[in-house]
Amino acid sequence: MTISDYLLTRLHELGVEHIFGIPGDFILPFFQAMVNSEVSHIAACNELNAGYAADGYARLKGLGVAAVTYGPGSFSIVNAVAGAYAESVPLLVISGGPSTEAYQSQPVLHHTLPQKYDASLKIFEQITAYATLLDDPEQAPAKIDQALRICLSRNKPVFLEIPVDVQTCPCSAPAAFQPVAAPLDQAAVAAAVSDILVRVQNSERSVVIPGHEVHREGLQDKVLTLLEKTGLATASMFIGKADFLEQHPQCIGAYQGAGSLAEVSAYVEAADTVLFLGVVLSDFNLGGFTAELSTEQVVVALDQQVTTAAGTYRDVPLANLIDGLIEALPAGGTDNTAPLQLFRHKAETPYEPVPNAPMTNERFYDRLAHFIRPGDIVAADAGCAINATYMQLPRGVTYLASCYWASIGMGFAAAFGACIAAEPGRRVIALVGDGSFQMTAQELSSMARYDCPAIVFVVNNKGYTAERLIHDGPFNDIADWRYHQLAAAFGGTGLDVHTEGDLEVALEQAQSHTGPGPLLIEVHVDPWDASEAFTLMSETLRSH
């Protein structure tokens, strides 16, 4: 067994069946080992997209992997890794490297920076939880396991740079993997639970709002148990949209500060205690900081610590906190004054198409709420993610979006990764604006290559609408592609939608679409057509 074999065997043991990546001379021995392993190589069109795809794969499977070559390959994937770090995604990046001797003598080789062979390692130290060079074959297996333990325990990306000669060095087969638990302070957990218990008991109204860490740690069922025992109201958010509870009778709707429906924001902001579980209180999550919440109201459990008005409790894993709250908080009934599932776009709202009416954003998402069905995987990108926040999802839908790092193009490439990770029979639906799509459109060809029957909606508003609303200028214009025709060029099917009648024809075909390859539906809307929430977000950013 070689170092490459060791790593591939360990990854397969941990449930990884696919690795996204681009070959290059410094990583070729690893790629050859992959050919002879139980892990399949999935080729993206470039390294950045491979990183995004591995991120989408990880959000479904619990661990994603990308493999690249040294220098241009590793630098190309940096933005995707930074996004995974911001949004707590367990992602392993494997980079090849020159020979171990070259690291010492630093000759002027291709793909290298003069006298800076450690440049990539230094960069990845800033955007991962662990980054190391495997330059000692004897220590390599232990470092591989250490990286994977950190990745899985912290839900953060890690980086392994492997010199080309080390990739083929012999080593022993891996022993049973020994995972490591997150740091745990039982006294701090008890103190945090007690603090929250007192607050809830002394509050006339408390609200529980889950976020992205609940998804990363697979705590959805625990959150539902907590809600059903206590009867407390809950809401969905922009970052970490709670796809698992939007149909729950205690869900009041989507909360995003002033971007929320008035009844939702009024209910949340009048609460004595707002318990954010795994939520990042960023500008986007709080409607551009328009949320009227005081530090006295807010309890935040994030990144292994709990912060209340009384102080901060560290080394408190989210799972342990929720378990403690389930045990400690008293049973209660549902608040009859709470709003019930207030979403701008929902299946319960009747929709009757007006055949010749031009398509608008509002009507598109109204209709989409009727099209999405239980079990679907929905990947939304940039502006589409803002609009999708206010669309109620059916039970059993998995929602993917990068709303904290908010790098446009991520959502579509992540949809490709989701196609590879998805269980048979689950539809993958991508919602992407034209500006975002142009960033990673090449992966439409990858979807065709691997026969991924994704349904891709490209909302064509002829440029960067979010930026237009912040500061308009010719720099917000983009090339006007014929997006629906790209599908045929790449190996899929494309449809063009200008009216509500066109959309009905397209959705009828989409309902029965099983391939080959993706179905791309280009939806034309006015360049200035933006939802109230979208406009508010842009106005807030403009004021900054």
Q: Judge whether residue 516 has pLDDT over 90.
A: yes
Q: Judge whether residue 530 has pLDDT over 90.
A: no
AA letter at 266: A
For all residues of the chain together, what is the average pLDDT?
Answer: 95
Q: Do domains 3-168 and 361-543 have the same CATH topology?
A: yes
Give the per-residue pLDDT at 528.
Answer: 84
Q: Judge whether residue 543 has pLDDT over 90.
A: no
Alpha helices in 441-530 (DSSP H): 443-449, 465-470, 483-490, 500-511
Q: How large is the average pLDDT for residues 345-351?
A: 96
Report pLDDT digits (tens) over 425-448.
999 999 999 999 999 999 999 999
What is the strand order of the sheet 298-302 is part of?
A: 251-254, 233-236, 206-210, 273-277, 298-302, 305-308, 311-314
- In which region does residue 517 sit, left (phi positive, over 0), alpha (psi from -120 to 50) or beta (all else)? left
Give the per-residue pLDDT at 541.
Answer: 63
Q: How large is the average pLDDT for residues 278-293?
A: 92
What is the torsional sign of CA 429, 434, 440, 442?
positive
Confidence class for position 338, pLDDT limits 50, 70, 90? very high
Q: How large is the average pLDDT for residues 24-52?
A: 98
Q: Give the 3-state DSSP-derived string for 186-246, with helices as H, strands as E and coil as C.
A: HHHHHHHHHHHHHHHHCCCCEEEEECHHHHHCCCHHHHHHHHHHHCCEEEECCCCCCCCCC
* CA 86 – CA 71 distance, rounded (Å): 23
* CA 74 – CA 199 distance, rounded (Å): 48
Give the per-residue pLDDT at 420.
Answer: 98
Q: Judge whether residue 540 has pLDDT over 70.
A: no
Report pLDDT digits (tens) over 353-410.
999 999 999 999 999 999 999 999 999 998 899 999 999 999 999 999 999 999 999 9
Q: Does domain 186-328 have CATH number 3.40.50.1220?
A: yes
Using only C-alpha atoms, the chain has a radius of gyration, in whole angstroms, of 24
Give the per-residue pLDDT at 463.
Answer: 84
Q: Judge whether residue 538 has pLDDT over 70.
A: no
Q: Judge whether residue 544 has pLDDT over 70.
A: no
Report pLDDT digits (tens) over 230-281.
999 999 999 999 999 999 999 999 999 988 999 999 999 999 999 999 999 9
Report pLDDT digits (tens) over 456-493.
999 999 888 877 778 888 888 899 999 999 999 999 99
Q: Judge whether residue 83 has pLDDT over 80.
A: yes
CATH pick for 361-543 out of 1.10.3720.10, 3.40.50.10420, 3.60.150.10, 3.40.50.970: 3.40.50.970
Give the per-residue pLDDT at 36.
Answer: 94
Give the per-residue pLDDT at 328.
Answer: 98
Q: Judge whether residue 85 has pLDDT over 90.
A: yes
* CA 460 – CA 523 distance, rounded (Å): 6
Residue with tokens 């949320």: 291
Class of domain 3-168: alpha beta
Task: Judge if pTM exceeds 0.85.
Answer: yes
Give the per-residue pLDDT at 539.
Answer: 67
Report pLDDT digits (tens) over 180-207.
988 999 999 999 999 999 999 999 999 9
Give the per-residue pLDDT at 464.
Answer: 83
What is the strand order of the sheet 40-43 is part of?
A: 40-43, 18-21, 64-68, 91-97, 158-163, 130-133
Q: Judge whether residue 533 has pLDDT over 80.
A: no
Going from N- to C-terminal start, the domains of the chain cover 3-168, 186-328, 361-543
* CA 195 – CA 256 distance, rounded (Å): 26
Q: Among residues of the chain, what percentage have pLDDT more than 70? A: 98
